[in-house]
Amino acid sequence: MQEKSPKDNKKEIPPYENLLRLGLIAFWLSLIFTGLFGFAQVEKIPYSRFLTELNNNKLSEIYVSPEEIKGTLKAADNKVKTFRTVRIDDPQLAAKLAQHAEVFQGVPEDLVWKSLASWCIPIIILFGISSLIAQKIANSDSGIPGLGMRNIVKSGAKTYMESDVKTTFKDVAGVDEAKEDLQEVIGFLKEPERYNRLGGHLPKGILLVGPPGTGKTLLAKAVAGEAAVPFFSISGSEFVEMFVGVGAARVRDLFTQAQSSAPCIIFIDELDALGRSRGLSPMGGHDEKEQTLNQLLVEMDGFDPRQGVILLAATNRPEILDQALLRAGRFDRHIVVDRPDKLGREQILTVHLRKVTCNQTDVVEPMAAATTGFTGADLANLVNEAVLGATKRGATTVELSDFNTALERIIAGPEKKHRLLAAKDREIVAHHEIGHALVSLALPGSDPIQKVSIIPRGVGALGYTMQRPTEDRFLMSRSELENKLAVLLGGRAAEMLTFEDISTGAADDLAKATEIARSMVTRYGMNKSLGPVTYEGETQAFLNGYKPSDMEGRKFSEETAREIDCAIRELVNAALQKAIAILTERRANLEAAAKLLLNKESLTQQELMAVAGPAIEQNVS
């Protein structure tokens, strides 16, 4: 990449600025010389001395103005000096001057020039100083956001040169499909003639789509590291400013920088902050975001990918992006960076455990199995929490127990050991959690129980039953969903059997169970009376949770709505009755396990199986 010479970087000074500087210098020099030579020989004397010298006939050429008296004074060495004194209201002054002065005359007050001097000179000084300061700020290259108009329209992208990008594909794990799709980009940047020889070219824009924390930014930086090219990184929100037109100027500046550094990679993170669908703003086309988006579209149409400028972007909200961005010729290749599967989680844990002192063989496989649904960022946080826990207890190595403790902290929140519960509340919580555990153990296909505890965690959890799937699941049958409902209602069933009363502890369980039952009826078509019909649209958000039913009115009749409510209630009631039947049959196991939990506060899977009895083991097998 060719560097600019110092002469090219030298800024030209406008002619008016030189004239302004010369004028200010001349003005200050005139003031200095006037002070040094104009007033140096003028002696300021008090009025009493003036009268004395006047009576001694030593004054001549006296000029009397309304404010002061000036003249010449004969000193003792016969030298003539100029004097001045402040005039005092003296009615006999004229008579004294006529008697003792050879020549005297009055001087009228020059109000015009005095007013001009008092008003214009300060204004000229202030204008000159402010002009210089404004020019200095406008030409400032300090890099401070918002300092100077020249600086405010700069893109502000972080630039990483070839030697600065140390990240490679070895540092990115669990996204093998995405890395395979990006190999073409690396090959084009390294060997552009290989791809241009048949007339082909890479897509102008490549959009990385995936949930937060899956490694989209890391993947983009790894592409630059593998290709050994400059990397321009900027967030979509950095384009948008208060002033209309600034964002468009920043887009132009970014592409200008990139084309001068080609081959290179431009990476725009959180593209949805910039590329939201147009027409949603009440400001219409005058909205700053829309003008910035329009400029981005124009720039993408204007540059040739054969030049070696690759545009990468990342978002976790592709459903709100403007369709003009997603059409062919702009972001025409979409790469999904999804949550890793078990093998991917093992690879990610291996990467994060490189600098951690632990036995990776004992940690990687069980933690990968227990962290279904975790992203790369979640796994990095898990490793860090485990290391901090081991450091806190003074260990020399990080053990599997540290990872299990860290996993509990992430899922359920930190322990609240100092939150004291009344004896009655502890008994209710113990039976509630054991109810969940026993129903789960009695039903086939349930996720294995890892731990049951009555130690409060997080904000409002007084106890918890920790279940984690051992494999990734993408489909669930109706019977599995019904069993899941029964497990969720196992705590309420245990309270009903033991205390013949119910508490507020099942509020979260009831909410989850109702949501599952509603999805079974309205989305999955699992109710015979309502038939294989969906009454609730699919989620429009690609990765987030809002549904059309949250924003739109329902599209079915009142009679159908009543049938839906009845079907949901039947599913939940049937699940509650199933849980009550299981716990009634195993009432002795319920009491024994609850008593043990009250004494130990936490039970592992082995301890729970030991007190649950052989009947549970048969159902589990």
Which residues are annotated as catalytic? 433
Hey, what are 435's tokens?
Answer: 């109810």
- CB count in 10 Å sphere of residue 54: 21
- At residue 355, the 3 state secondary structure works out as coil
Could you tell me which of 208, 187, 183 has the C-alpha nearest to residue 308? 187
281 burial class (0-12, 13-18, 19+ CB within 10 angstroms)?
Answer: middle
Cross-strand pairs, 264: 309
Q: How many CB atoms lie within 10 A of CB 127?
A: 12
**Measured between alpha carbons, how far is 492 from 504 in angstroms, rounded to an integer?**
9
CB 44 within 8 A of CB 62: no
Instruction: Return the half-sphere exposure (C-beta side, CA atoms, 13 A cut-off) of residue 360.
Output: 12
Instruction: Give me the residues paired with residue 9 across strands.
Output: none
503 and 428 Cβ atoms separated by less than 8 Å: yes
Distance, CA of 519 to CA of 572 (rounded, Å):
12
Rg of the chain in Å (alpha carbons):
42
Strands 68-74 and 80-86: antiparallel
What is the C-alpha to C-alpha distance for residues 349 and 345, in angstroms, rounded to an integer? 6
Distance in angstroms (rounded) separating the CA atoms of residues 333 and 313: 11
Which of 98, 75, 231, 233 lies closest to 160 in space, CA to CA? 231
Task: Give me the long-range contacts of 472-481 (CB less than 8 A, separation at least 24).
Answer: 472/341, 472/342, 472/372, 478/520, 478/524, 478/526, 479/445, 480/445, 481/516, 481/520, 481/526
Longest Cα–Cα distance in the chain: 138
Tell me the torsion sign for CA atoms 415, 420, 426, 428: negative
Any alpha helices (H) in 447-551, and if so which ranges?
Answer: 478-488, 490-499, 507-522, 548-551
Give the number of other CB atoms < 10 A from CB of residue 182.
25
Contacts of 230 (CB under 8 A, 6+ apart): 1, 159, 160, 161, 162, 224, 261, 264, 265
d(CA 123, CA 116): 10
Task: Classify burial at 243, counting beta carbons within 10 Å of its beta carbon; exposed 0-12, middle 13-18, buried 19 or more.
Answer: exposed
What is the residue type of 453?
S
Whole-number Å distance between alpha carbons of 80 and 59: 10
Quick one: tokens of 429? 């919580």
Amino acid at position 46, single letter: P
Q: What is the DSSP letter of 601?
A: S
